[in-house]
Amino acid sequence: VDGIRDGTIPPEKHDYYLEVISTEVRRLSRLVNTLLEISRMQSGERKLNITHFNVSEKARQVLLSFEKKIDDKKLNIEFNNEEDVSVSADMDAVHQVLYNLMDNAVKFTPENGLITVEIEKKEKKAWIRIRNTGEGIPKDELPNIFDRFYKSDRSRGLDKTGTGLGLYIVKTNVNMHGEQITCKSKENEFTEFEFSLPL
């Protein structure tokens, strides 16, 4: 900005640098909003608004929001859901969990790869699995992936816009429901996240 104002950057390069500035402002805005969200969670200020809703339909809606990115990468999608499943949970929190996990799946699946979403009832809970083919997560990094600001070397190269807070928020939201989330991965094959919600 200073370079544009003082004339160091010539007018023909203004658009290029304004795009850089715009991208960075959006990234910082996401970071600040995410940090505020985490602060509300940790202080107990954010209370769950428990309602009954169709989590299968919610997962379909979130998946559709990535339609353009999925088409651009020619990704294959499998949605396995024998019957729609209703849960008793905070819809906004669950939306955020599904969005963050699917966003990661789309980002880290190579062209023509496969993303699988599975939803089933088991042991009086709804179980949701999101799996993607790709590089996977190295075994020694798996224990750290839900930590705040943690980004693996692999994701640093592939995801320039992330803050390292997405999975931390996912875990916090799931844990606030008294439920758990796990991740398993095999290098150069797949990564799969699984979490439960109360029916």
Residue pLDDT, tens place only, 110-156: 999 999 999 999 988 999 999 999 988 888 888 888 877 666 655 54
What value, to the nearest 5°, has the Cα angle with vertex 181 and ends 74 and 103?
25
With bands split at pLDDT 50, 70 and 90, how would you rate the model's confidence at 195?
A: very high
CA torsion angle 169 24 130 125 (round to 10): 20
**Which of 30 and 20 is assigned the larger pLDDT?**
20
Q: What local confidence, expressed as pLDDT, does residue 149 receive?
A: 67
Pairing of strands 114-122, 125-133: antiparallel
Q: List phi, psi (to 5°) of 36.
A: -65, -40
pTM for the structure as a whole:
0.78
Residue 27's pLDDT band, with cuts at 50, 70 and 90, is confident
pLDDT at 160 over 80: no
Q: What is the pLDDT of residue 161?
A: 55
> What tens digit of pLDDT does each residue of 48-81 get?
889 999 999 999 999 999 999 999 999 999 999 9
Q: Which residues, in sequence order, are CB contacts of 132 under 8 Å at separation 6+?
A: 104, 105, 106, 108, 109, 113, 114, 115, 116, 190, 191, 192
Give pLDDT, residue 47: 79
pLDDT at 87 over 70: yes
For residue 141, the one-letter residue type is E
Q: What is the pLDDT of residue 158?
A: 53
Burial code (b: 16+ CB inside 10 Å, e: under 16) for 86-118 equals ebebbbebbbbbbbbbbbbbbbbbeeebbbbbb
